[in-house]
Structure 1
Amino acid sequence: MSNPTQADSQVNGIPSIIIEGSKRNMGRIISGLAVVTLVLTQIFGYYLFKITGSREIFAGAIVEILLCAWAYGLANSGNIPKAIVVTFFLHSLSTLYFGLILSPNARVQVMAIFLLGLVFLLFGGIKRWLAIGFILAVTAAIEANNHIHFFRKVELQNAHVDIIGYLIIGTVMFLTSLMFYIFVKEIEDYRFKVNMYTKELQRTKQAISKYVRENSHQVRIDLNIIYGYLQHLSAEVPEKDSPGAVNVRTRDLHAMLNSTKAINEFINNSLEWSRIEQGLEIPIKKETIDFELWLDGISERFKLMAREKSVDLLLQMSNLPLYIVEDKNRLEIILGNLLSNAIKFTGRNTVVLLSVNVQNEVLVIGVSDQGPGIPIDQAEEVFKPFVSESGTGIGLPVARQLAKSLSGDIFVDPYSDVGATFILTLPLVTATNAQAQEMKKTVNNSTRSLRVLVVDDDDASRRIALINLQRLDYQIYTCASFDACKNILLNKNVDLVLLDYQLSNSITAVEVIKWIRSTGLTKNLPIIVLSGEAYLYGHSENDAKSVSLAAGANGYILKPIDYKSLSVEIEKVVNPANIKFYPWER
């Protein structure tokens, strides 16, 4: 399957590569017809003028030559629609003109045979029928003039009329044969394209089947790990809730976390690739990043996954600015895919290196492993979807497309001595002084805890949010409905609302946000939407995130919730002087 940079867009469901190929073919056909007609008109026009001395014939030939040159120029300049119109009217009006001024014995009407072939070659749909109607009108006008004589005919000798008739019949036979050849050639070309795309579809179908089969198997393995551990833990818990603790080994907890991360990565990559395949434009959201601190966080997040495989994940930074401006979400997805791939494919007791530096105003990020490596002739194949022998098969294609959306790229380092090294390059945009000062604002941890309202119709989701948010001594209110949310907001002091997108079959976060924004006491209240909706209706402008932010939400987090990411989102939308944040992985 071609990725979006290769066969990219579609027009009415037809890949643009096919449309562009058809345009090129039509351009060649029109250019060829224009050249043939121009040459024939020059030869016959000069010959007929010489034997007849008719200025009308000579003038008609000159006009036809000029129109042929115009059609040729339009076709070569890529203006195919106008070239088609000029070509059709060039031949139709020439037939009409010479049919009106020449004797019926010149048999100009037989040009209609060629014109019909031309119509079927150039037009389709309603335009074809309109063109056929025009040809019938031209033929009728010529026949009418032969009987009524409303247009004066050129006086020619009978011998000259017979010569013109033979020339016209020969021209029609030649042009019709040329048209037949073009039709046959076009059919052969289309047959070749159909066979090529059929084979491509078959390969894609096989690749997708393999993708679904292998990833369904992997997801089941991850779910089995989580389910197995939870069954074991549930056996140790009394039937009724009790304040007693359940002992969980760190190794078991890490195994469950890694499995949930693997499933989440699979879902996110699948959704991201679906967006890319559909050509959905996801707006770039650039923000100021404390770069070294952010890189430390990314490194720490994947060290847990690396330790499970006895792999050392090393971070090497040099010559970096303190703050950069970039789309942090896209950058996290790109690095996440590169690091998870490196950890998957490297051997046990090896090293994965994340190196970051700046070269000539370009941010260069390298991820190196000590696995089997990638042959040079396969360096581009790994960026095609569904070709991976392990993993989702779309992690690298997603990463490359996101990198290109940020005006960067990813490639395999051909000079890597051991394993594989993937290089991410991005234009470096450093933060301005004002942006840097904004990032330097410190959090006042001595102030009161945040008062948070969690609105979610799912009992388990509310319980999980309560457990995680209480780790900061936040004051938590929870409710399951829009009415209960109204009641709390009107009677309690709340600093932040965490709002599930789909509260019921009929109520979404949009209605709740609009009510909050229309109420005087709460119109400036920060709102973060928590949602399992990746996108709705197939259009990015109507997806859950876009409609939530448009309605007035301050932030958006996709489920399953990474509470560290949630804490960062909270930091952005709430006055930092009034809150405390999560000490995750400290």
Structure 2
Amino acid sequence: MRRFWRLLKTLPYLGTDGAPLPLNSKRVIIILNSLALLTSFLCFLISTVLWNTAHEIRISGVGYAMALIYLGVPLFNKAGKTNSALLTIFILQSFSAMYYGALLGPAINIEALAVFLCGAALLIIKSSRYKWAAITFVLTVTVILKVIWYGNLVDPLPLSISNNRLVYFFAAGAVLLMNALLLYFYERAVNKSNRELEALVEERTLALDQANRYKTTYLNSLSHDYRTQLNPIYGLAHELVLQAEDEGMPDHIQVSTDVIRALYASSRNMLDMTNVVLDTARIEAGMYDVPQPAPFSVRQWLYQQLDTYQYVSPVPLQLKIAGIPGRIVSDAALLTRILSNLLTNAIKFSRPGGTITITARAASQHFLLEVTDEGKGIPAEELEKVFDLYITGSKPGEGTGLGLPISRKIAETLGGTLTAASETGKGSTFRLSIPMVTDNSLKSQPQQPNEFEHFYGAKVLCVDDDHSNRLLAELQLKRLGCTTAFAASSGEALEKAREVIPDVILLDYYLPEISGMELLDKIRKDTLLRHIPVIFISGNTNTAEIAAARAHGDGFLPKPIMLEQLYHALLPFLSSRLVTESRPL
């Protein structure tokens, strides 16, 4: 007896231990098996009772046959043919509804059976198309039976009143049992969905809490870092103002080289932090930079970067170059952002007395750039985590955990990779690898870092409403050998442009009276000025506005403007005025 009950308990799970085909959910298989076994038992029971009372083979014979066919459903599932099992259930249920409905009339309680079949379709069938097709079929059968009954199209079996009541009792009981089983499975499905939803909500809540903790740490670190870098900028600038006041506010005062280097280092660090924050905002918004490949000298580019960071780094920077062609084709601006983040990271974690080594080499048609520090290193279990946003190996207030993940994203947009290797106590190496395309269009030797090019005689008009920005532009343009003119408003800009007829106009995107774009429209309509190239400058890094500036103007420069960026922006329009001047390092 125990074996029988043990076997009976295992029957609903037939087919769940294999690999079912299209409907591969164990829950669906258990529901199909349970419905088939219950219906088979009810068919056998009702057919036996009605045979003993009515002795009608058309009722009991078909019932016994259906009971046997229902037992085939678990066997279909066992063989992995869940679709066949599902089809068998619905064919038998629909057939029994039509057959017994026509044979016995309203006594079979077709409405309750239709509710059961529609509920089973919603619970079991996954495909929305097949689900509603099954429901439509069930409702159609119900309507047909109603038409048959009320139209007296088929005469039901002439059963006695007691047998009719017995049929109604068993039919109603069978349908109620099947609906009860269906409700049981619905409840299980709802409870399971609730548990899964609760688990998902808990998981997402924990992830959100962790993200909020990371961002809180990030904001604290960012606030600390900004204030740390702002302190010498503000303090030293204030001291210089006081010094000038003590000397009667002359046009020039003597400034220590150490003060200049400190101001430069702090402002450079603030610029790097600002770029990282803006890059993060773009990445989180799903906006990625589109690479703009162009030929450039690798040596010159590397020397420029090291020349910038030698004032920032407290440890020596060593450059090694091996097997690199004179010029390659890639996006130098994106590479600069990667190298800037790697150098900032290496400087942060370098120990006093150590060295930062930058190695550039070629391998298997790839350009490899490695930055190696001699810091504390990164444990192996944390190595890959450094590329996750807001994960930092710094103490609180000593880093944002953004530079490395941003650098990896940029490397991927260039079709390359950024990886890390580290040994605890000895330092870390970050390696950038991108496909290398050699530029052979220029056969001359690559420009050395001690060569400076000037646009002698070139006239540049700078339109900017901020006095400090105009002062900076004047110093930078004079260093590039340009003759300068300035305007603070749109009206003044048009007047100056007609007076000077500049070779290039640097135009602020945002002006107090009208926008830079509106001023550009006026310039383009002026027959005297329409030929002049206009390069937009702006502190806004909105992608749409940058695209508009590049589409309508002749270039775009983001603030703060580096000298080399200004040079490369002017070069396409002033190359005929270039004069090269060599001077010793």
What is the TM-score normalised by the length of structure 2? 0.76
1:331 to 318, 328, 335: 335
Are residues 289 and 94 of structure 1, via their aligned partners in 2, closer, same or farther at CA, if it must alter by over 3 Å?
farther
Secondary structure, aligned partner of 2:287: coil
Confirm or deny that 1:361 pairs with 2:362.
no
Are residues 164 and 487 of structure 1, via their aligned partners in 2, closer, same or farther at CA, if it must alter by over 3 Å?
same
2:190 to 180, 183, 192: 183
What is the CA distance between 1:59 and its match in structure 2?
13
What is the CA distance between 1:281 and its match in structure 2?
3.5
In the alignment, what sits opposite 1:249?
256
1:499 to 491, 497, 507: 507
Once residues 284 and 445 of structure 2 are traced to their aligned partners in structure 1, the CA distance between those partners, rounded to angstroms, is: 36
What is the CA distance between 1:283 and its match in structure 2?
2.1
- The answer to whether the 8 Å contact 2:452/2:580 transfers is no
Once residues 495 and 445 of structure 2 are traced to their aligned partners in structure 1, the CA distance between those partners, rounded to angstroms, is: 36
2:412 to 397, 400, 404: 404
Seq. identity, % = 22
In the alignment, what sits opposite 2:50?
none
Once residues 438 and 548 of structure 1 are traced to their aligned partners in structure 2, the CA distance between those partners, rounded to angstroms, is: 34
Confirm or deny that 1:291 pairs with 2:294.
no
What is the CA distance between 1:477 and its match in structure 2?
1.2
Are residues 155 and 452 of structure 1, via their aligned partners in 2, closer, same or farther at CA, if it must alter by over 3 Å?
farther
- The answer to whether the 8 Å contact 1:472/1:581 transfers is no
In the alignment, what sits opposite 1:563?
563
What is the CA distance between 1:275 and its match in structure 2?
0.8
- The answer to whether the 8 Å contact 2:22/2:82 transfers is no
In the alignment, what sits opposite 1:280?
287
2:62 to 52, 58, 62: 52
In the alignment, what sits opposite 1:454?
462
Confirm or deny that 1:478 pairs with 2:480.
no
* Aligned CA-pair RMSD: 4.7
Once residues 168 and 444 of structure 2 are traced to their aligned partners in structure 1, the CA distance between those partners, rounded to angstroms, is: 91
In the alignment, what sits opposite 2:429?
421
What is the TM-score normalised by the length of structure 1? 0.75
What is the CA distance between 1:227 and its match in structure 2?
0.9
Confirm or deny that 1:347 pairs with 2:348.
no
1:479 alignment partner AA: A
What is the CA distance between 1:105 and its match in structure 2?
3.8
Confirm or deny that 1:375 pairs with 2:379.
yes
What is the CA distance between 1:439 and its match in structure 2?
10
What is the CA distance between 1:115 and its match in structure 2?
4.0
What is the CA distance between 1:170 and its match in structure 2?
4.5
In the alignment, what sits opposite 2:115?
112
Once residues 496 and 462 of structure 1 are traced to their aligned partners in structure 2, the CA distance between those partners, rounded to angstroms, is: 15
In the alignment, what sits opposite 2:473?
465
2:189 alignment partner AA: I
Are residues 386 and 41 of structure 1, via their aligned partners in 2, closer, same or farther at CA, if it must alter by over 3 Å?
closer
Are residues 116 and 168 of structure 1, via their aligned partners in 2, closer, same or farther at CA, if it must alter by over 3 Å?
closer
Once residues 153 and 380 of structure 1 are traced to their aligned partners in structure 2, the CA distance between those partners, rounded to angstroms, is: 79
- The answer to whether the 8 Å contact 1:454/1:476 transfers is yes
In the alignment, what sits opposite 1:76?
none
Once residues 444 and 344 of structure 1 are traced to their aligned partners in structure 2, the CA distance between those partners, rounded to angstroms, is: 31
Are residues 491 and 376 of structure 1, via their aligned partners in 2, closer, same or farther at CA, if it must alter by over 3 Å?
same
In the alignment, what sits opposite 1:527?
534
What is the CA distance between 1:385 and its match in structure 2?
1.9
- The answer to whether the 8 Å contact 2:452/2:582 transfers is no
What is the CA distance between 1:353 and its match in structure 2?
0.5
Once residues 256 and 283 of structure 2 are traced to their aligned partners in structure 1, the CA distance between those partners, rounded to angstroms, is: 41
What is the CA distance between 1:458 and its match in structure 2?
1.5
Q: State the Cα deviation string for residues 522-562 of structure 1 (Å, max 9, x = none).
A: 33422221111111xxxx4x2x21111122x2222211222
Once residues 89 and 334 of structure 2 are traced to their aligned partners in structure 1, the CA distance between those partners, rounded to angstroms, is: 56
Are residues 386 and 523 of structure 1, via their aligned partners in 2, closer, same or farther at CA, if it must alter by over 3 Å?
same
- The answer to whether the 8 Å contact 2:40/2:66 transfers is no
Are residues 414 and 351 of structure 1, via their aligned partners in 2, closer, same or farther at CA, if it must alter by over 3 Å?
closer
What is the CA distance between 1:98 and its match in structure 2?
6.1
In the alignment, what sits opposite 2:323?
319
Once residues 291 and 360 of structure 2 are traced to their aligned partners in structure 1, the CA distance between those partners, rounded to angstroms, is: 22
2:221 to 214, 222, 229: 214
Are residues 233 and 35 of structure 1, via their aligned partners in 2, closer, same or farther at CA, if it must alter by over 3 Å?
same
Once residues 566 and 473 of structure 1 are traced to their aligned partners in structure 2, the CA distance between those partners, rounded to angstroms, is: 12
Once residues 367 and 375 of structure 1 are traced to their aligned partners in structure 2, the CA distance between those partners, rounded to angstroms, is: 18
Q: Unpaired runs of 5+ in structure 2?
A: 1-20, 45-57
- The answer to whether the 8 Å contact 1:342/1:369 transfers is yes
What is the CA distance between 1:318 and its match in structure 2?
0.8
- The answer to whether the 8 Å contact 1:100/1:153 transfers is no
Q: State the Cα deviation string for residues 319-378 of structure 1 (Å, max 9, x = none).
A: 112221112211111110001110111011210001111221222211111111001011
In the alignment, what sits opposite 2:576?
577
Secondary structure, aligned partner of 2:318: strand
2:501 alignment partner AA: N
Q: Give the count of matched residue pairs.
A: 524
Once residues 155 and 60 of structure 1 are traced to their aligned partners in structure 2, the CA distance between those partners, rounded to angstroms, is: 25
Q: State the Cα deviation string for residues 222-277 of structure 1 (Å, max 9, x = none).
A: 11111111111111224999664211111111111111111111111011011111
What is the CA distance between 1:198 and its match in structure 2?
0.8
Once residues 490 and 150 of structure 1 are traced to their aligned partners in structure 2, the CA distance between those partners, rounded to angstroms, is: 100
Between 1:97-106 and 1:454-463, the stretch displaced more is 97-106
Once residues 446 and 195 of structure 1 are traced to their aligned partners in structure 2, the CA distance between those partners, rounded to angstroms, is: 63
2:566 alignment partner AA: L
- The answer to whether the 8 Å contact 1:449/1:580 transfers is no
1:546 alignment partner AA: A
Once residues 537 and 491 of structure 2 are traced to their aligned partners in structure 1, the CA distance between those partners, rounded to angstroms, is: 19
